[in-house]
A = this chain, B = another copy of it.
Amino acid sequence: MLRIPFEEMEQTICRAFIKAGLPENTAATCARIHTESSCDGVFSHGLNRVERFVDYLHRGWINPQGKAQLQTSLAAWEIYDGEMGPGITNAIFAMNRATDLAKKNGMGMVSLRNTTHWMRGGTYGWQAAEKGMLAICFTNTETCMPPWGARSGAIGNNPFIMAVPAANGQHIVLDMAMSQYSYGKLQVKRLADQQLPYDGGFTTDGALTCDPASIEESRRILPTGLWKGSGMAILIDLMASLLSGGNHTAAIDRLEQGSCAACCQVFMAFDPLQITSSNFVKNAIQDTIQQIKSAMPAEEVTEILYPGEQSLRNRKENRQLGIPADASVWNRVIELAVI
């Protein structure tokens, strides 16, 4: 495993994106977000996703010039068409508008249709939290998971994000997809010849299993919380579609343009200081974290973490030591960046 300095990774990815046809500003923003994701430990949507993004650009599945265009403006809610532009810049724009609307109205909401994969959903939770805003956002995706009770796929793993801003910058950010594990995680575990710590899907015979290869074979990945995550995936999909006037999962499937083609996303931001004080916010957060941290740890657990805490630790360590990178992935990105 290599350790790549942040700036080196960012600049290399940026060159690859410019070479693939992204305008310079767009490339710089996307490169920063991919690098930040890897730096936070979310490798699947960081460096490891660069090649696939470039491939989508080459195939014409992402419009390098696409920019969110306003369709409808309501009191505290705006609806945009993403013109199939890069998911990252569309989503940053959308959350930025949501926080602007929240500054003005207490809460703000932006929905986005015909956009593309936003990569790590947590990015937009952190973005809002950095502005002192609470946030909720979600996206739909193509089909990648069986609904509860089925053995064949029919629903997306539709990520859902919630963020709470802490004055000290140690924001509390939940970033969860609706499958218990991602296919990326299964692959990592299989290649390392390891079992999953908890059941992650079914065998072809319908038995719950911790064996990643068996799940990759059956394609019967487990919804998080069994019927609950399956139900939530269905609701997130329909809400994203109906709140933006765009594609639901079945319609995304029919496009056959990879992951999250012309998908829908919803961004909400809330300004807590318009209804309460910064002291109130601080106390609620501190008290909650203290209550969680002072619970009795389970067997073999040394510390109980809150959502987002591990990302912060990774960020600190990887800024100092360099961002972990698989040598073959890194070399491939360097190739893509050669002018």
List residues of A whose CB falls within 8 A of some B CB. 71-72, 74-77, 79, 104-107, 109, 111, 134, 136, 143, 146-155, 160, 162-164, 172, 174, 176, 180, 198, 202, 205-206, 208, 224-226, 228-229, 231-232, 234-239, 241-245, 248-251, 253, 270, 272, 274-276, 280-281, 284-285, 287-288, 290-292, 294-299, 301, 303-307
Give the nearest-CB partner of A177 in chain B.
B228
Give the nearest-CB partner of A299 in chain B.
B206
Bound Cα distance A104, B77 (Å) = 12
Stoichiometry, as copies per complex, reads 2
> Which of B172, B206, B231, B307 contacts A174, CB < 8 Å?
B231
Q: A75-B105, A225-B228 are in contact. Are A294 and B154 (CB under 8 A)?
A: yes
Chain B residues lying within 8 Å of A164, measured Cβ to Cβ, are 235, 238-239, 242
* A234/B280 in contact, CB under 8 A: no
Give the nearest-CB partner of A150 in chain B.
B295
Bound Cα distance A234, B225 (Å) = 16
The dominant DSSP class at the A interface is mixed
* A249/B291 in contact, CB under 8 A: yes
Give the nearest-CB partner of A288 in chain B.
B248
Give the nearest-CB partner of A173 in chain B.
B235
> Which of B106, B155, B284, B296 contacts A242, CB < 8 Å?
B284
Give the nearest-CB partner of A105 in chain B.
B75
* A298/B238 in contact, CB under 8 A: no
Chain B residues lying within 8 Å of A295, measured Cβ to Cβ, are 146-147, 150-154
Give the nearest-CB partner of A125 in chain B.
B235
Chain B residues lying within 8 Å of A235, measured Cβ to Cβ, are 162-164, 172, 174, 307
* A243/B270 in contact, CB under 8 A: yes
Q: In the assembled complex, how far is the CB of residue A237 from the closest CB belonging to chain B, in whole angstroms?
A: 7
